[in-house]
Structure 1
Amino acid sequence: MKYLFLGLAITLEVIGSSFLKASDGFSKLLPSIITFIALVGCFFFFSQALKSIPLGIAYAIWAGLGIVLTAAVSVVIFKQTLDLPAILGILLIITGVIVMNVFSKTNAH
């Protein structure tokens, strides 16, 4: 259940960030409302995940996967491009999340 909560938090964070871009600086009402709802939901589910996942591990996974997925949304939805350093950085983030989950004894599986 703890990873379901973390997954929901990540998903809502990506939705909130994407609609933040679409809100155009909070000048568009519907995307602004969706941003607020998604981010409140994100932090609710993140708080539930933190009941059983160590903060450092949960935050690294949440932030890392949030960055990767938000970058993917920026490419697919907003037609933005990523250069080679950005792609390499994203690959390093993914590698870091995998290393933490596979090798860290801090992780509460």
Structure 2
Amino acid sequence: MRRGLPPGQQGIERLRDACTEYFQQYDVLLLPVLPIPAHEHGLTQFTINGQTVDAAHIQTATIPFNLTGLPALSMRFGTSSDGMPIGVQLAANWHCESTILHIVSLLESLSPVRDQHPTI
């Protein structure tokens, strides 16, 4: 632990250290934006595997990148059976935005939703 820092800041520093270690071995991290497909606006709870979960709880996958300042990007990559978007996010090491953009361009070329556009 880093002395002199408040506990919350110590946690952020531990997260930064873990990310530094991860990105010494890997160029990017690919993960879901949410553990469920996109949902209607305004919902405050969800039932997942029979358990009621607060909406704030399922939206935590982006927080590590907000706290550490790592570059990250989310994109639609699929569609659920009821037509809702399914997103993925990519994160990379500090100052590696070009790596994320390159991989996103590759993912977009493979995405099953690449040619879908909203009706205006």
Q: Give the TM-score normalised by structure 1.
A: 0.34
Larger Rg: 2
Which protein has the bigger helix share? 1
Q: Give the TM-score normalised by structure 2.
A: 0.32
Higher relative contact order (CA 8 A, sep 6+): 1
Which protein has the bigger strand share? 2
